A and B are shown apart, each in its own frame.
Chain A
Amino acid sequence: MLKAEFVEEAVKHGGSTKREKRIKPKFKTGQKVRTRNLNPIGHTRLPRYVRGKLGVIHHDHGIFVFPDTNASGLGEKPQHVYSVRFEAKELWGAPGTGGGVIYIDLWDDYLEPALKRAKPKRVRK
């Protein structure tokens, strides 16, 4: 139970979900990436508007708990979170959307390298 006398400390300290782990990042700053087209019925922090889109890694925030697994009892699965930059045109189509560049924080598991084939390889019969 959180007692009144510990509230100040709890508030001041908070509860960071950053984790000190030795995990290599899958992506580098400046690298082009494509967000995966994930549609889980469980919890995810990958919004629909940014799925299957081309972006650029802006910054690596470090390693954090992964909400998709953490919300369904599958564990923390800590991994790198990146600030990824998307052009408005990539997300919304034609110009005249008021412009803007969107930066969104995305986990390793949401991303793949942009050079990966968007379509599956043709199978030789």
Chain B
Amino acid sequence: MNGIHDLGGMHGFGPVVREKDEPVFHADWERRVFGLLTATLALRKWNIDEFRHAIERMGAAHYLESSYYEHWLHAIETLLIEKGVISRTELDAKIAELGKQEP
């Protein structure tokens, strides 16, 4: 699709910004999302091409404003629901349940 992910040749994004001594993961949730990609691909409910396309379907503003592993989270969440592995309802319920436990 002619989505925002197709960045080759675009102008206006400014200089390449680098972080000194950048860690592999910036937060623990990034680690879990990283692991979840391989673990959910192993379920064979979708393939890597569907995964990439789920990221491409994010919507331009959302794509640009969110971090890399948020893209992965969005795609995994979207595909889990679209493929019927989990439902939106049960995910929302689990979020609410865990949210109550947070300090």
Give chain A's interface residues, CB within 8 Å of chain B: 1-2, 10, 15, 17, 39-44, 47-50, 65, 67, 70-72, 91-92
Contact = CB atoms under 8 A, between A and B. Distances in A.
Interface residues of B, number: 17
A71 B52 contact: yes
Interface stretch (B21-29, B42-50, B92-100): B42-50
Contact of A1 (B2, B9, B42, B49): B42
A71 B42 contact: no
Given A2-B42, A43-B1, A44-B1, A71 B53 contact: yes
Contact of A43 (B8, B41, B52): B52
10 contacts: A1-B42, A2-B42, A17-B48, A41-B1, A42-B1, A42-B53, A65-B49, A71-B47, A91-B9, A92-B9
B91 to A, nearest CB: 19
Interface in B34-84: 38-39, 41-43, 47-50, 52-53, 56
A70 B47 contact: yes
B1 A40 contact: yes
B39 A2 contact: yes
A10 to B, nearest CB: 7
Contacts of B8: 47-50
Q: Which of B1, B2, B9, B49 has most A Cβ within 10 Å?
A: B49
B6 interface: yes
Contacts of A47: 6, 8
Contact of B43 (A1, A41, A44): A1
A52 B41 CA distance: 34
Contact of B6 (A48, A70, A71): A48
